[in-house]
Structure 1
Amino acid sequence: MCRSASIHKDICHGKKLSTCHGAAYRLMNWILSPLEVRPDHRNRIGPKAYALSVMSREGFNIPDTLFLTVDAYSAFVDASGLRERILLELNRKEFKDMRWEEIWDCATRIRHMFLKKQIPGPLKSYLTEKIGSRFSGKTLAIRSSAPDEDVSGSSFAGLHESFVNVRGTSSILDRIRLVWASLWSDAALLYRQEIGLDVEKSAMAVVLQETVTGDRSGVVFSQNPNDKTQVIIESVYGLNQGLVDGMVEPDRWILDRDKKTVLSHKPAQREHWMVPSEHGAEMAALPENLSGRPPLSSEEALGICDLAYRAESLFKAPQDVEWTIKNDTLFVLQSRPITTLSPSETEDKRAWYISLHRSVENLKALRTTIEETLIPEMAKTAKDLAEQDITVLSDQGLADEVRRRWKINQHWVNTYWEEFIPYAHGVRLFGQYYNDAMRPDDPYEFMNLLTQTKMVSLERNQLMEELASLVREDRQLFERLKVGEPLDLDLEFGEKVNQFIEKFGDLSCAVTGGTECATDTRPLFKLLLEMAVIPSSLSSRKKPKDALALQQRFFERFQGPKRKEAEELLDLARSSYRLRDDDNIYLGKIEAQLISAVKEATSRVESSERRGTHKSELDDLKSVIHDLDYGNRQRKLTDSSNEYGLKVNPRQLVGQPAGPGLSRGKARVIRHHLDLQDFKNAEILVCDSVDPNMTFVIPLAAGVIERRGGMLIHGAIIAREYGLPCVTGIPDATFLIHTGDDITVDGFLGIVTISQRDKL
């Protein structure tokens, strides 16, 4: 394959692409028709496009199609300077140290770069002429065809974007850029090693295909991956997008490969179908006259089966063929080898990460489940456990209760991963929707529309501010708290403190609702005294600038049904954003009751040991304490060891920009939850990760630094709520920065500068 640099030199006589005369482009085959494709073009158009060209020559019925070669991608990224910017973005942090959320952020920033860069004039003119002359007035499906997309022995379907029912030159060119950008999607970055993703060498070809508005669509596997004697057909009414995206349940047929007979048919509920819309495709209710019968007859299923056999015979390998039927005419949309992805290690979670991408309909269903069922159940469970008096239980009864609470806690931990974590995709989905519509300079501008929501951790902080206000206004109360006099000297304050502890715990524990985890039970009062010496306005949430105007500009981009869709997506994103912070609070309240039972069990065992007595009933308590090892699990927020040995003194650290702004202050490094009670006003919070159960110190902070990265981690969320500079994703932040260091946090660039080391 020719390198883009030599191509530019040859056809433009050394001139930059932006100044090269458009006629020179006509000397290059930037676009190929299926009949123009030769075997040596495979690496220029990718396997998906090449397969379509082969099928077209062999008489398969494919829609009118053109292929945009990888040379166009290379010309675009080189002329726009994107190749260098992608390289810089990917080298911001080593991939082995990046969490999936950081990879999503990285992909989001790269995608936004493609959105903001226009296709250079000569290339744009060439594409406009070629596409316009071939598809004038028609709607297109625009699909990826990366040369590395289909790797032998592995299946990586779904790594890149595709679009259907795209109309108009401007929209077509826009979607081409997004398909190019999807070469660097989060899914592709996760599998970068397997597909050989490389900034210098990798490129993206594009399939431009006339949209066939099928009455029925589906996929056929010429060989069942789990049973080589079978063929599988899945079919839906309407466009195939609903089936591919998992939004519409398909009817499913299993056929015998040799006998060519139908073995079984599993009908779907048939409630929805995907239909063309002004901006692509949308889901609609399936007409009643279709819901009662399958999309295919037995004879049609056998015809689809024959199609799969022909494709398999042509390519000498089992095929996964996507097809559609319009007016009883069968069209092939694409065909690819059937391969399975079998991770070499059971710990490989990448497929699970990719599964977190959810459709709007799926997220709506998740929201209903979470808000109407799961959250109330969690709250009731925590309340019921808190009201139970475990001190009256026998030793054996207490051991049984600890085990019961562990099972309850584990149930909700599993629910958290299965239901709550996927729901966070609502924010990501809205972010992409917002950026596509608004094209802002800041790819995270959409976050300003999500703040100021009612979160549990912020409700706790507001109650703390009310308590601090009482202390601030009463000097006598301030002095009494300072010397540790009893709370009953001030009834109003004491009552409010009791209400706070009943709802949120005394802040001495690493989970919400926990109490008396420390020998010093005054962390709440130490923080209130610290908050009382600063004006209340400094500890309040900061409203994003012009958030209302920003929302109005966003809504004005849409009319009619699209306006309603935008409003629904924003509402969904706000709910997702709120739950991303609240879920750990609710989970923490349940865990606090497990800790309470473990503490009671530990107290009984230690009391018996101090007395030198032994009761056989205590053996089971000792066993359950040993099995859970909960004390050790709660002691530290991060390991105290590090790979650097005694001391490393870097001057500048680079992470991910997660909260805009600049601030300077003394570092407060948190390695144990109890370190939080020593937090002082205007310090910079430095930690492994800001748990929602730690955010009560944020009103005092001047900035936030975390080892964990991502725009949707709790520290980034809470920092934006308070308008604080935030940098995340700094490896070993809690070891490279020391408490007392004078540091500057640049939340715009993601840089932390250490200007003066603590001398202690």
Structure 2
Amino acid sequence: MKTTYLLSEISRDDSAVFGGKAMAIRRMHGAGIRVPATVCISIDAYKRFVGESGLQEKIQLELHRKQFADMRWEEIWDGALRIRNMFLRSRIPESLAREITETAAKYFPDTPVVVRSSAPEEDTAASSFAGLHESFVNIRGSAAILEHVRLVWASLWSDRALLYRQELDLDIAKSAMAVVVQELVPGTASGVAFSVNPANSAQGVVEAVYGLNQGLVDGAVEPDRWLLQRKEHTIKEHNGPERSKFMAPAGDGVILKDLSAEKMMKPPLSPEEVITVYRVARSLEDIFGKPQDVEWTRINSDFVILQSRPVTARQDGDADDKRGWYLSLHRSHENLKKLRLKIENEHIPAMISGAADLAVTDLALLPDAELAGEIETRRAVKEKWTGIYWEDFIPFAHGMRLFGKLYNDIVNPEDPFEFVELLAQAPLMSLKRNAALQRIGAYVKQNPALQRALAAEDHENISDAELNRLMAEFSSQYGDPFCGTYGDKTCAESREGLVHIIMQMADSSTMEERKQNRAGRNKADLESLFFEKFKQGDNRARAEELLDLARASYRLRDDDNILLGRIEEQYVLAVQEGRNRLTRNHITAAEQLPESEVVRCLRDPGYRPGLRESREFSPAPESRQMKARQLLGQPAGPGIGRGKARVILSPGDLALFKKGEVLVCDAVDPNMTFVVPLAAGVVERRGGMLIHGAIIAREYGIACVTGVPDATKLIHGGDEVTVDGYLGIVTVGQGADSSPPQGA
């Protein structure tokens, strides 16, 4: 069956076979509009590949590992990466591979191309979602084109597409992906044109950058932007950025280069060219009968239209729909480099100094009214940094994922998460904090009298100068790990929990052993294997840069939460001081008052808040009927761990953790990771290979399974649990056991 076609061989009724993008290009070509030389690969090629390779059944199993509604962003990305790896490692039928490579060699013998998705559901009026599927720029040679066709096929099941599975009507049995292969037009300027401004129906928009359009699409190059009057086709407004870079072809991809001094001072398009581009967009609106979002490039003085899709109407949408935010996490390499500089040079120093500045204030000396103001100030600081955390720190975590995709594309490993072994380099702040606790524990272990005093819980009367120095040094550098971990838990109560953990550390000799075991994994071999795939030059330098970026992303994924915790701690201390004063003033249940009521009471001594229902945590009663022998999740930390379950449901549970127990929780908060080195294993309801609990568990070589539905309901405190971090199986019950794999 033939699967590769020229535009002239496609009829206007073939949309279900070639997809929206291919049909739009075919229609423009038929209307006499200049488009690049194009070959279309039908959905029959995709169907044959997934059918003969067994991929359809594998995708079915992957997408039913867990109820989709219960999956977080991290789990969706992990699932998409596993599917992508299945595509990479599955053999394309020989006759199909031959047809695609021979067609590519015939029409693009020495020509670089762009390989684009063209799903039947994509770029239609009902569902125009830019960027859900993959495109690859500057691909050379028939073998490389075939491999990138494979990656475009895999992107039918990308994390972004899975988020919009309902709108795209994704169905394992029915959905398929066509592909468009276009000659790369090395334009001197490129951009997009909207025949109607999504924000103002009386206007149109033209955006332009120097070089390839990839710079604009990736967000690496800020465009010049013109607003035009739709009716008159006249320019209403021009906003010019600070021009400095452009995207150009390089090797087997693209590279960001510096603009000349002359181009920095000059827009990529003249006013006449802006109007010319806009008129093309309006003519395409007439052809398609709907407002169009047009991608174009200029070569010499001519404009070439790369693709056209319906304009996506701007919608305010559901406030609870976070999918748009998730799509914003996908950052380009260049965008991530800028974000790293901002985080490391601006945010982190400001967070450290900000927490230190707040800590200088002696809250006990403030009059009540000033304490009320201090609480509000600290809340504002906390909210500011929480906003920055979501705006900058979380998107920077995409650096790990970007590297993971590159590593899998180049190395083609059996384990799609093998790349994670390369990410740990500089010690994480959590590990430094844990090592400091271990040093305090080692000191206590050497002093039997001190051990006995701590065991007797006579904390107030302990006058050991060295212990006090170590504790003060720890608190100064890392804060109180219990303070603020559970919102309303007071820092004074948490000291008892910290002493308990130190006692467990004193009785533990596993931390360094575990770190040594982890260090024994041959990271150097994996790194060599990765770099061997690159020739010297731009591609090798980019690979080294991306690995360095991913390592920074991995480190900051943990460190940022510790730093945010220091700021939150200062807020909790101020609220706690207010509650303590109200208690001394005989205000009923002051420890349960929300911050707003605490502030009001401090400012108005005569105010008495009404009694409120207790906000103490009340865990749901255990149901012994809800019992399972084996629970399935995602293997996130290799190893086998056995022990009694410590289920974290309430504020006091973490402080009671003992060496050798299995940590079972909804999710390991970064401020909780100090107990992980004591654990025999970790089980989390929240899923993902790159969440905090999984990261720390791997650092210590502790078995970890994430994404276990209802883990804290189906596992009860004291249950014997075996955690199989190789297979993602948690076995529950008296005498639970599991046979470890060979070499475990």
TM-score by structure 2 length? 0.92
Q: Which residue of 2 aligns with 1:590?
A: 567
Q: Which residue of 1 aligns with 2:469?
A: 495
Corresponding residue to 1:455 among 403, 407, 428: 428
Equivalents in 2 of 1:105, 1:348: separation in Å?
20
Deviations 1:93-129 (Å, cap 9, x if unpaired)?
1111111111111111111111112312121112122
Q: 8 Å contact 1:154–1:342 — kept in the other structure?
A: no
Change over 3 Å in CA distance of 1:115–1:309 after alignment to 2: same
Deviations 1:337-382 (Å, cap 9, x if unpaired)?
1122536412211011100111122212211121111111111121
- 2:552 is the alignment partner of 1:579: no
Deviations 1:165-185 (Å, cap 9, x if unpaired)?
100111111110110011011
Change over 3 Å in CA distance of 1:314–1:747 after alignment to 2: same
Q: 8 Å contact 1:741–1:757 — kept in the other structure?
A: no
Q: In terms of mean alpha carbon deviation, does 419-428 or 257-266 score higher?
A: 257-266
Equivalents in 1 of 2:566, 2:494: separation in Å?
21
Q: Which residue of 2 aligns with 1:649?
A: 627
Corresponding residue to 1:599 among 573, 576, 590: 576
Q: Which residue of 2 aligns with 1:640?
A: 619
Equivalents in 2 of 1:37, 1:261: separation in Å?
37
Q: Which residue of 2 aligns with 1:709?
A: 687
DSSP-derived class of the 1:332 partner = strand
- Could you tell me which amino acid in structure 1 is paired with residue 107 of structure 2? R
Displacement, 1:189?
0.5
Deviations 1:172-206 (Å, cap 9, x if unpaired)?
11110110011011110111011101111000000
Equivalents in 2 of 1:288, 1:302: separation in Å?
26
Q: In terms of mean alpha carbon deviation, does 287-296 or 501-510 score higher?
A: 501-510
Q: 8 Å contact 1:236–1:249 — kept in the other structure?
A: yes
DSSP-derived class of the 2:682 partner = strand
DSSP-derived class of the 1:40 partner = coil
Q: Which residue of 2 aligns with 1:754?
A: 732
Q: Which residue of 1 aligns with 2:739?
A: none
Change over 3 Å in CA distance of 1:271–1:102 after alignment to 2: same
Q: 8 Å contact 1:154–1:340 — kept in the other structure?
A: no
Equivalents in 2 of 1:553, 1:184: separation in Å?
28
Aligned runs of 1:219-258 on 2, under 5 Å?
A: 219-258=192-231
Corresponding residue to 2:360 among 356, 371, 387: 387
Displacement, 1:513?
13
- 2:539 is the alignment partner of 1:556: no
Deviations 1:19-62 (Å, cap 9, x if unpaired)?
xxxxxxxxx23112111111331100001101111111221111
Deviations 1:678-709 (Å, cap 9, x if unpaired)?
22222111011111111111111111111111
Displacement, 1:583?
1.2
Deviations 1:290-343 (Å, cap 9, x if unpaired)?
222222222222221221122111111111111112122221111111122536
Change over 3 Å in CA distance of 1:228–1:610 after alignment to 2: closer
Deviations 1:502-544 (Å, cap 9, x if unpaired)?
3334544344999963658432232222232333556652325
- 2:603 is the alignment partner of 1:620: yes
Corresponding residue to 1:470 among 443, 448, 451: 443
- 2:659 is the alignment partner of 1:659: no
Change over 3 Å in CA distance of 1:521–1:235 after alignment to 2: closer
Q: Which residue of 2 aligns with 1:323?
A: 296
Change over 3 Å in CA distance of 1:262–1:173 after alignment to 2: same
DSSP-derived class of the 2:519 partner = coil
Equivalents in 2 of 1:127, 1:360: separation in Å?
30
Corresponding residue to 1:673 among 639, 644, 651: 651
Q: 8 Å contact 1:602–1:625 — kept in the other structure?
A: no
Equivalents in 2 of 1:607, 1:175: separation in Å?
70
Equivalents in 2 of 1:656, 1:477: separation in Å?
42
Q: Which residue of 1 aligns with 2:595?
A: none
Q: 8 Å contact 2:686–2:707 — kept in the other structure?
A: yes
Corresponding residue to 1:568 among 538, 545, 556: 545
Equivalents in 2 of 1:500, 1:525: separation in Å?
12
Change over 3 Å in CA distance of 1:630–1:553 after alignment to 2: farther
Change over 3 Å in CA distance of 1:341–1:252 after alignment to 2: closer
Q: Which residue of 2 aligns with 1:547?
A: 523
Change over 3 Å in CA distance of 1:306–1:507 after alignment to 2: closer
Q: Which residue of 1 aligns with 2:89?
A: 116
Q: Which runs of 5+ in 1 are unaligned?
A: 1-27
Q: 8 Å contact 1:512–1:592 — kept in the other structure?
A: no
Q: Which residue of 1 aligns with 2:710?
A: 732
DSSP-derived class of the 1:738 partner = coil
Equivalents in 1 of 2:668, 2:588: separation in Å?
41
Aligned CA-pair RMSD: 2.7
- Could you tell me which amino acid in structure 1 is paired with residue 733 of structure 2? S
Aligned runs of 1:30-109 on 2, under 5 Å?
A: 30-109=3-82
- 2:348 is the alignment partner of 1:375: yes
Equivalents in 1 of 2:581, 2:40: separation in Å?
75
Q: 8 Å contact 2:685–2:708 — kept in the other structure?
A: yes
Change over 3 Å in CA distance of 1:309–1:521 after alignment to 2: closer
Equivalents in 1 of 2:254, 2:355: separation in Å?
44
- Could you tell me which amino acid in structure 2 is paired with residue 641 of structure 1? A
Change over 3 Å in CA distance of 1:200–1:89 after alignment to 2: same
DSSP-derived class of the 2:491 partner = coil
Q: 8 Å contact 1:99–1:709 — kept in the other structure?
A: yes
Equivalents in 2 of 1:515, 1:93: separation in Å?
33
Displacement, 1:717?
0.9
DSSP-derived class of the 2:246 partner = strand
Q: Which residue of 2 aligns with 1:436?
A: 409
Deviations 1:448-492 (Å, cap 9, x if unpaired)?
111243222111110111122223334343333322456756433
Q: 8 Å contact 2:514–2:701 — kept in the other structure?
A: no
Equivalents in 2 of 1:361, 1:685: separation in Å?
39
Q: 8 Å contact 2:635–2:705 — kept in the other structure?
A: yes
Q: Which residue of 2 aligns with 1:212?
A: 185
Equivalents in 1 of 2:599, 2:64: separation in Å?
60
TM-score by structure 1 length? 0.90
Change over 3 Å in CA distance of 1:477–1:317 after alignment to 2: same
Q: Which residue of 2 aligns with 1:203?
A: 176
DSSP-derived class of the 1:609 partner = coil
Equivalents in 2 of 1:452, 1:626: separation in Å?
52
Q: Which residue of 1 aligns with 2:509?
A: 535
Q: Which residue of 2 aligns with 1:22?
A: none
Equivalents in 1 of 2:7, 2:527: separation in Å?
46
Change over 3 Å in CA distance of 1:223–1:694 after alignment to 2: same
Equivalents in 2 of 1:611, 1:208: separation in Å?
72
Equivalents in 1 of 2:321, 2:76: separation in Å?
16
Q: Which residue of 2 aligns with 1:23?
A: none
Q: 8 Å contact 1:510–1:673 — kept in the other structure?
A: no
Q: 8 Å contact 2:293–2:309 — kept in the other structure?
A: yes
Q: In terms of mean alpha carbon deviation, does 83-92 or 247-256 score higher?
A: 247-256
Q: 8 Å contact 1:140–1:166 — kept in the other structure?
A: yes
Number of matched pairs: 724
Deviations 1:658-697 (Å, cap 9, x if unpaired)?
1122222221111123212222222111011111111111
- Could you tell me which amino acid in structure 2 is paired with residue 752 of structure 1? V
Q: Which runs of 5+ in 2 are unaligned?
A: 591-597, 737-744
Q: Which residue of 1 aligns with 2:328?
A: 355
Equivalents in 1 of 2:216, 2:238: separation in Å?
17
- Could you tell me which amino acid in structure 2 is paired with residue 530 of structure 1? Q
